[in-house]
């Protein structure tokens, strides 16, 4: 009732400390930017949306995400197979083997980068959103409910005093 009356402008609202309001605004801003950065980093690390959904499901089921071959590693595999088909002694075969080996190293480096970014960068962001932010939101709701209770009590007190004053005037 208090909340509705406040929204309709029929009840007074106790304002929170300006510094505290500023902290709440900063917390909201931090949460929003953290979500955006987390999502975009996931897109950067895994551009395939269906693979991202699959990885998300594995995480939610607390299962290990199966290791994927990177595009560089796949290209290296094709180049090595082609080199074997053309003959490793031919100039084209030798070149494919050399370039394929380099691609394999690049693919392995990409895999390590993805793993490292996930552990060192994405995990702290998720921990903030799933831990700290939930705590902040819960405490904010509790504070809001307590403020509403306080304002409702103030309104009842004000009505009681007004009724008492009216009764005193009529007696």
Residues 53-100 pLDDT 10s: 888 888 778 888 777 888 999 999 999 999 999 999 999 999 999 999
Residues spanned by the domain of 109: 1-170
Q: What is the CATH number of the domain that holds 17?
A: 1.20.1270.60
Q: How many domains in the chain?
A: 1
Name the pTM for this structure: 0.74
Q: From residue 168, give the alpha-carbon distance in Å to each of 154, 155, 162, 165.
A: 21, 20, 10, 5
The pair of structure tokens assigned to 135 is: 């705590």
């Amino acid at each position: 009732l208090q909340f509705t009356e406040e929204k309709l402008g029929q009840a007074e609202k106790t304002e929170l400390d300006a510094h505290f309001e500023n902290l709440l605004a900063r917390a909201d801003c931090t949460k929003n930017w953290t979500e955006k950065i987390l999502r975009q980093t996931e897109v950067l690390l895994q551009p395939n949306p269906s693979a991202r959904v699959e990885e998300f499901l594995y995480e939610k089921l607390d299962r290990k995400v199966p290791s994927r071959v990177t595009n560089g590693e796949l290209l290296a595999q094709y180049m090595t197979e082609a080199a074997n088909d053309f003959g490793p002694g031919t100039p084209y075969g030798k070149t494919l083997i050399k370039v394929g080996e380099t691609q394999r190293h690049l693919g392995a480096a990409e895999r390590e980068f993805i793993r490292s970014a996930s552990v060192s960068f994405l995990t702290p962001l998720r921990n903030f959103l799933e831990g700290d932010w939930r705590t902040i939101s819960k405490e904010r709701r509790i504070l809001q409910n307590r403020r509403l209770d306080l304002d409702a009590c103030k309104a009842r007190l004000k009505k009681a005093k007004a009724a008492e004053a009216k009764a005193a005037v009529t007696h």
